[in-house]
Chains A and B, each alone.
Chain A
């Protein structure tokens, strides 16, 4: 698996630009295929998203969990782990948060909110601890185990809801107490009135920024990236490789779990089956497009949030599934651009240099 050390700015900008250009072409073709005018539909898309305060608020609302799951996948990638399990980690955390938030009684928000957020982190982390353990103990590949864990999470959550955690006759938890809810952002910015964007956006921003800071400035964060780069060299230098892998995995799950703040606490106020579904997989797209940078993650979350909200805006003319297609196209294009860049690295900078006569080895290869 490729490590996620940063490329040069220019390389990343090229890859992303190429991906967006391809997405634009596919968008044009799809819209044209439905007999609509691409520019007209694009105008509608803009109007339904960034064109109004409400639309912008909705985009931010959609981007909130994506930013956190994107950061979650990013933590895994840094360690060389491909955490496909953000989806399941988010599901389990959502249930835990929904149940806990309904049972906190009359706590004040200063106490209730931190408690439920901590629970979200803990539940997501705990669900990720299982594949983490399977990986470091038995070498079970995380892609396989996390996909399985996603299915188990779905089944487990449905079963728990059905066997007593849900309100009678429904598949949802009881309403969260006021002290555990995250208020809508329109209390600060009245223009957002009606949109679902909430203080979970602040939580997500802090979560992603905290991740980026820790990755650079803490020992664990830095060693996680080094382990992702070359575990054998780290082992030879006595870095606790397996512990760092497990920590990265659990941290990844915790961030994915935190995404439930945007859906359960900031939006519905309770958990129901299917709430937040897709945000975990969306995180994969955000992390791939985000190019291992905080700014990249934020922009990618906003971009995919825009696509999701935009799909609703153009649904009358073009099926909103076209936006899902675009999402896939962007991921594919970024992945392809990555491979392309890697192959066009000058040979001198690759791992095995060709045989060289001693006299000319001195010069600085590849720089």
Chain B
């Protein structure tokens, strides 16, 4: 039974004020949701609450007593545990071993008390309402089970306050439901649950209290009272503040020939029969809960992975692709912006194996200017650019290829608003110049801004098609399988 309180927390990274004087309280027996856009400061605030980050100002109080020293070890000792977005499990160990790792019950001479460990973990699994495969190596478990192992780890250490960072971003809808059921049971047993999320549907369905953050500050706060639901619309307004999404300006485009037709694509358990058509000048959006086949679909269209069955017919043979992770698959960070802008195209500038540096320079400069990269310096390394400008480089390269199909995975993820606008303008321009575009995004407002139609991907299959004017709620319902 621990009350968690953050008082006047401020935290600055370099010149960026991530949290700017935020206060927050979470009480036992309730599920508290903390919502906000990417970069609103919600994860930072709660990492400070769990002792993982230090605060520049403010205090973290547990039952009115300050958390001191401000370390994760002390926070855990005082009963606060955080389940991170990226799990920290030892793949080769069993679920049981992972749960007890670092807090093993011991017999004399330091021998591990396996029986006692197992008993306690079984009890915890019962509390979670889950059938955990205790003796299976974690490497064989799915994400839902891995997450339960993480939560069991926290419970095994007697955590009273459990903070989860975006726990459902990797879960299928039914797993998300199961997770919230388990969290509800824990709350009913007097624990304090804090969930960081950007999904308002979940908040509506499961939370007892909501705190909305915007630009490092608390923008809205509400607790559920008997007979009255949380006002999710008010929270949504607070999250967006004055930056209401701009009006959708999509120049009318005459759709042309078919550039992509894929039928019955099947790939392992990821793609379960994808049918898809994209035409010239058409922008098609793909929405869905992360992990429902988006990544695989993009890799198949990029030609990096072959499907088990099905057929992809692509006008011109090769799609131009912006992958999900620009650092992993988009850029050579230590190479110059010049090299990155023409990555993979050196053959165009080569005579008998020798580069024509002048032509390469001209093409790179043209792309640099068209893409609005700041600062406009070809000699800088890609690493020296901000995230938004790195993405502009990747996008400028992809758009300039003039491929008949442009595939964009999360084109503005982690990118600031200014850069996002530049990127959106380029996508629209590419489409009006004749490219067919497929946009995969977790950001429904982005899809509405860009797309002519929005497909919902669920469990490796398109389950619904929407007009860009459709509401968040109806698209969300399709993403979750109809029971939002």
Contact = CB atoms under 8 A, between A and B. Distances in A.
A361 interface: yes
Contacts of B38: 355, 358
Contact of A219 (B43, B321, B323, B355): B355
A349 interface: yes
Interface stretch (A20-28, A41-49, A226-234, A298-306): A226-234
Among B18, B328, B386: residue with most chain A CB under 10 A: B386
Among A220, A225, A347, A362: residue with most chain B CB under 10 A: A362
Contacts of B332: 226, 229-230, 233-234
Given A236-B323, A357-B16, A364-B375, 16 more contacts: A219-B349, A222-B355, A233-B328, A234-B343, A237-B345, A239-B344, A354-B18, A356-B13, A358-B39, A359-B215, A359-B416, A361-B388, A361-B418, A362-B388, A366-B384, A367-B380
B385 A5 contact: no
A360 B375 CA distance: 16
B419 A362 contact: yes
A363 interface: yes
Interface residues on A, range: 35 or more
Interface in B185-201: none
Contacts of B321: 236
Contacts of A350: 383
Contacts of A230: 328, 331-333
B37 interface: yes
Closest 8 CB pairs of A and B: A237-B344, A361-B416, A229-B332, A354-B13, A5-B334, A365-B386, A230-B332, A219-B346
B330 interface: yes
A217 interface: yes
A36 interface: no
Contact of B39 (A348, A357, A363): A357
B14 interface: yes
A361 B415 contact: yes
Given A3-B334, A233-B330, A361-B388, A355 B13 contact: yes
A218 B387 contact: no
Interface of A: 3, 5, 217-220, 222-223, 225-226, 229-230, 232-239, 346-351, 353-367
B404 interface: no
A5 to B, nearest CB: 4
Contacts of B329: 232-233, 236
B16 A354 contact: yes
Interface in B300-325: 302, 304, 318, 321, 323
A355 B18 contact: yes
A358 B16 CA distance: 10
Contacts of B39: 355-358, 361
A349 B13 contact: no
Contacts of B388: 361-362
Interface string B327-367: 11111111100010001111101100111010000000000
B258 interface: no
Nearest to B329: A236
A266 B420 CA distance: 63
Contact of B333 (A235, A351, A353, A364): A351
B16 A360 contact: yes
12 contacts: A5-B334, A218-B355, A219-B350, A229-B334, A236-B321, A236-B329, A349-B383, A355-B18, A360-B416, A361-B39, A362-B386, A364-B385
Nearest to B415: A361
Interface in B272-324: 302, 304, 318, 321, 323
Interface in B374-393: 374-375, 380-381, 383-389
A233 B381 CA distance: 15
Contacts of B13: 347, 354-356
A366 B39 CA distance: 19
Interface string B25-66: 000000000000111110110000000000000000000000
Contacts of A367: 375, 380, 384-385
B46 to A, nearest CB: 12
A349 B385 CA distance: 8
